[in-house]
Amino acid sequence: MMVQADLHSRRQSPVRITEVCPRDGLQHEPEFIPTTRKIALINALSRTGVVEIEAGSFVSPAAVPQLADSDEVFRAIERASGVIYSALVPNERGLERARAAAVDKIAVFTAASDSFTQRNINATVLGSLARFKPIVTAAKRDRMAVRAYLSTVVCCPYEGRVAPAHVRDVMKRLLDLDVDDISLGETIGTASPSDIRALLDTVLPHVELARLSLHFHDTYGMAVANALTAWWDYGITAFDCSAGGLGGCPSAPGASGNVATEDLVFALKASGANVPVDELLVVACVRQLGEAVRHPLNSRLSQVLQLQNLVPAQKR
């Protein structure tokens, strides 16, 4: 049982937001977003206070055509000091592309369920870990930081509920690869705060908090509640979010976008958290992305501010 004073001090740590809109947010968009728009989005997000931006994905262009231009995007973005620019890497070929693009950090990705992993990266979970081992070693030798994603941590779209103890076991194997940090993905957005408590009670004894991020999707509108539970009850202060609530995974049909950055930042600040991100600037980024995304956004704050015509101008 955590001592109350420890929990209080953990809650006071600055919240680290990893902005995944340029990757998770856009990867499933049906209409191709022009490369110049992606670059402008990343440049604008760089000025919002987020510490890390997942700016692209070096996966097979056949799997994710929307992000086939990630090499070009990385060449053109203006890198802000203090911001880490990362990209997904599924295999050796992806690592070569990441190296050529001078990414700061790669993210390998697997899941807690075989059916999802097979569809997503054409490997079993164990097969994916074996594939990642040389990639992680080579990336670290080349001074790139490494994140590992572990998806389907509460429910798999093909296998149903996933036991927290199983998530813990796969997570430990990923940590053993010597990745710098791990993001636990609630990929299909069906979890409730009680699911998140059951998961965190099981995994937290096995991972340092400084290495853990949580990645919530918002299909059932529970993502903000889940993140607030993780922050308030466990002192977790690292979250992946996507501006505008965009997002989705080709291997998780029916799942909605990620938790909207602006909504989570607003909710955390309103609850007393220390979040060094300007949610109004995030809303401005979403507006700038504008008509390139031809469907309503899953972001309360963006909708409210746009209705009231209160969106601030972009900072130059």
Residues marked as catalytic: 249
Residue (196 or 281) nearer to ligand HMG, CB: 196
Contact 10, 237 (CB under 8 A): yes
112 touches ligand HMG (CB under 6 A): no
Distance of alpha carbon 92 from alpha carbon 129, whole angstroms: 13
Distance of alpha carbon 242 from alpha carbon 21, whole angstroms: 4
Contact 214, 227 (CB under 8 A): yes
- What is the enclosing helix (H) or strand (E) of 107? strand 105-111
Distance of alpha carbon 288 from alpha carbon 44, whole angstroms: 9
Contact 173, 129 (CB under 8 A): yes
Distance of alpha carbon 170 from alpha carbon 210, whole angstroms: 19
Encoded one letter per residue, x for contact with Mg ion by CB under 5 A and - for no contact, window 14-53 reads ----------x-----------------------------
Residue 278's CB is within 10 A of a number of other CB atoms, namely 17
Q: Using CB under 6 A, which of 19, 21, 22, 24 touches ligand HMG?
A: 24
Q: Using CB under 6 A, which of 43, 86, 120, 261 touches ligand HMG?
A: 120
56 touches ligand HMG (CB under 6 A): no
Residue (43 or 183) nearer to ligand HMG, CB: 183
Q: Using CB under 6 A, which of 57, 213, 242, 261 touches ligand HMG?
A: 57
Number of residues that bind ligand HMG (CB under 6 A): 29
54 touches Mg ion (CB under 5 A): no
187 touches ligand HMG (CB under 6 A): yes
Q: Using CB under 6 A, which of 157, 185, 235, 244 touches ligand HMG?
A: 185
Closest approach of ligand HMG to the CB of residue 75, in Å: 16
58 touches ligand HMG (CB under 6 A): yes
Of 59-67, 140-148, 193-201, 277-285: span binding ligand HMG (CB under 6 A): 59-67
239 touches ligand HMG (CB under 6 A): no
62 touches ligand HMG (CB under 6 A): yes
Residue 78's CB is within 10 A of a number of other CB atoms, namely 9
Task: List the alpha helices (DSSP H) in the chain.
Answer: 4-12, 26-27, 35-45, 70-76, 92-100, 114-121, 125-141, 164-176, 193-203, 223-234, 261-270, 279-289, 300-307
The CB-side HSE value for 215 (13 A sphere, CA atoms) comes to 31
Q: Using CB under 6 A, which of 55, 121, 125, 283 touches ligand HMG?
A: 121
Number of residues that bind Mg ion (CB under 5 A): 1
90 touches ligand HMG (CB under 6 A): yes
Distance of alpha carbon 37 from alpha carbon 212, whole angstroms: 31
94 touches ligand HMG (CB under 6 A): yes
Please report, as ranges, the residues that interact with Mg ion according to CB under 5 A.
Answer: 24
